Amino acid sequence: MRFPKMLKPGDTVGLVCTSSCVSAQRVEECVNTVKALGYQVKLADNLAINYGGYMAGSGQARGQWVNRMFGDPEVDAIFCIRGGDGSSRIMEYLDYDLILQNPKIFVGYSDVTNLHLALTQNCGLVTFHGPMVSSNMVDDFDEETKASLYSFLNGEGTVTFQNPKGKEIRVLHEGRCSGRLTGGNLSLLSASIGTPYQVDTKGAILFIEEVCEPMSKIEKWAYHLRNAGLLKQCSGIILGQFTKVTNEECPEYDVIRCLSDVFEGLDIPVVYNVESGHGKPMMTLPMGAMCHIDTKTKSITFEIER
């Protein structure tokens, strides 16, 4: 796995919408926010285009803009403006040979999960499950979210994941394990099964998060992973934020109880309450990096080699 080069003041950040769009006014706010962080900006031209009510242009247009940003020698990093829906349409248009030859910082989450899987597995590139410009930076780029992002974008050696103050990493299954980190949004992980970018869990540590879904869908998607044999291949599991996940019929049967049932019989470490996903603060995780979990010390560490 290859870590991209560090992000320096004055570098150029390419802004893309791989899923849903934002308004023209929001595009301007995103540009101003990234410039205020000390970077130059290049824009894809589809950011404010509304296709089908929930996509930022056609799948081909969105995929080609990802390719153009990776291929542009002036662009040092690629930040997704937001998630949303529709990234599955772009996957057939990604130029993996081009991306492989031009490794760069790539940051996003949620529907961006498809791209994390493809870029880590098909290109050997470490990507970053981290804050997005419109979703996390424009209105409230809090210091803990910012510090977590930069600790991985510019870190070296062994970097320890830090939860926000007052948020303790908790243990569901005890143990120690190591493996490269993979995963992301649960619905996208489930939907990846059977595709060329299906989540590869062999010896990996699987990260899972989700937002605004009923418990019945959490169970369906998680059992799809289990029934496909993917969970038993993991060396460990990290559970992130499950924001606004509900169970109106039986509130005491929460997401941890549901996933405890899903993980029954798995003799691997499982930690939860890891604050990465659709909540605030939103802490960054380097996808594809070598990860180590120790439930005795409740620590998650990563090896960063540039």
Looking at 135, 148, 192, 278, which residue is catalytic?
Answer: 278
Query: Which residue, 204, 174, 167, 179, is CA-closest to 189?
Result: 204
Rounded CA separation 246/273 (Å):
16
Structure tokens at 25: 């006014």
Rounded CA separation 249/289 (Å):
39
Please give the helix or strand (H or E) that residue 40 lies within, else none. strand 40-43
Looking at 20, 87, 110, 276, which residue is catalytic?
Answer: 110
Q: Are 56 and 46 in contact (CB under 8 A)?
A: yes
- Summarize the chain as % helix, strand, coil (round to 5): 30, 25, 45
Strand 170-173 relative to strand 270-272: parallel, antiparallel, unpaired? antiparallel
Query: Which residue, 257, 258, 268, is CA-closest to 231?
Result: 268
Indicate if 278 belongs to the active site.
yes
Please give the helix or strand (H or E) that residue 178 lies within, else none. strand 176-185
Q: Are 258 and 150 in contact (CB under 8 A)?
A: no
Query: Which residue, 47, 5, 12, 54, is CA-closest to 28?
Result: 47
Indicate if 110 belongs to the active site.
yes
Looking at 19, 87, 135, 209, which residue is catalytic?
Answer: 209
Would you tell me the crossing angle of helices 255-262 and 215-227 to the nearest 10 degrees? Answer: 20
Residue 249, Cβ neighbours under 10 Å: how many? 9
Indicate if 275 belongs to the active site.
no
3-state SS, residue 46: coil
3-state SS, residue 19: coil
Rounded CA separation 54/148 (Å):
30
Q: Are 293 and 284 in contact (CB under 8 A)?
A: no
Residues with a catalytic annotation lie at 110, 209, 278
